[in-house]
Structure 1
Amino acid sequence: MSAQIVDQATLPVGRGPHPAASPFEKRVGEAVGLTAFGLYQIELPAGAETVAHDHRDDHAEDAYAVLRGSGWVVVDGEEIPVAPGQFIAVTEESSRHLRAGDDGLVFIAVCA
């Protein structure tokens, strides 16, 4: 058995291969050697947002876990407030993006 451990503080920030890649993401999955799904930590500064996207073509599923800060997940134009401790899933046909509030927004994204 083997394990790979990385400290998120050591990961570079920048756009990855995901269609909605953000300049604020840390590619955790890549760093630990995952190949079955994408795992990212996104650290949005106040007022920043991710790229609006859906998964109609690739049928991928997205899930998010809010760690710190506050903001909104915008689903098909509807703004829904999010806060630490919440988990979010969005159906593949719906357009979605996340926007940080005044204190920023840090969340984990899993894409499979």
Structure 2
Amino acid sequence: MTHYSVDAADLDVGRGPHPAASPFEKRVGEALGLTAFGLYQIELPAGEETVPHDHLDDHAEDAYAVLQGHGWVIVDGEEIPVGPGQYVAVTVDSSRFLRAGSDGMVFIAVCAAPTAS
């Protein structure tokens, strides 16, 4: 059996190659060699935001899992409060971004386009 392991603490923070890349992201999936989906850990300082985006062009689905801190997932202008242990999925056509609260927010983002069956 083969496996790969990374510690997010060892990864650099920086903007990835995709259009919605955040300067606060750690490209976990890239470090693991994943190609079927994007996997990111985003560490937003207090009051910072990710890039507003949708996935109309690439048809990718996004899911977010909050690990630490509090903030909001803003979907089509609606602010959804989130905290540790909460998960949010956003449809392809909706505009979305995340904003950290006063204690910052660390979350995981998973992004993938559905495959034809």
| TM bracket, shorter-chain basis | over 0.9
Amino acid paired to 2:86: Q
C-alpha displacement at 1:34, in angstroms?
A: 0.2
Q: Which residue matches 2:14?
A: 14
Residue 49 of structure 2 corresponds to residue 52 of structure 1: no
Is there any run of 5+ residues in structure 1 with no aligned partner, and where? none
Q: Which residue matches 1:63?
A: 63
Deviation per CA, 1:6-51: give whole Å up to 9, x if none: 1110000000122210000000000011011100000000000000
Query: After the TM superposition, which residues 26-105 of structure 1 pair with which residues of structure 2 at under 5 Å, given as runs?
Result: 26-105=26-105
Percent of residue pairs identical: 80
C-alpha displacement at 1:65, in angstroms?
A: 0.4
Distance in 2 (alpha carbons) for counterparts of 1:13 and 1:20: 15
Distance in 1 (alpha carbons) for counterparts of 2:9 and 2:83: 22
Amino acid paired to 2:106: V
Amino acid paired to 2:32: V
Amino acid paired to 1:61: E
- Taking only aligned residues, the RMSD between alpha carbons, in angstroms, comes to 0.5
Is there any run of 5+ residues in structure 2 with no aligned partner, and where? 113-117
- Number of residue pairs matched? 112
C-alpha displacement at 1:57, in angstroms?
A: 1.2
TM-score by length of 1: 0.98
Distance in 2 (alpha carbons) for counterparts of 1:18 and 1:69: 25
Structure 1 runs of 4+ aligned residues shifted over 3 Å read none
User: Secondary structure of the equivalent of 1:100?
Assistant: strand
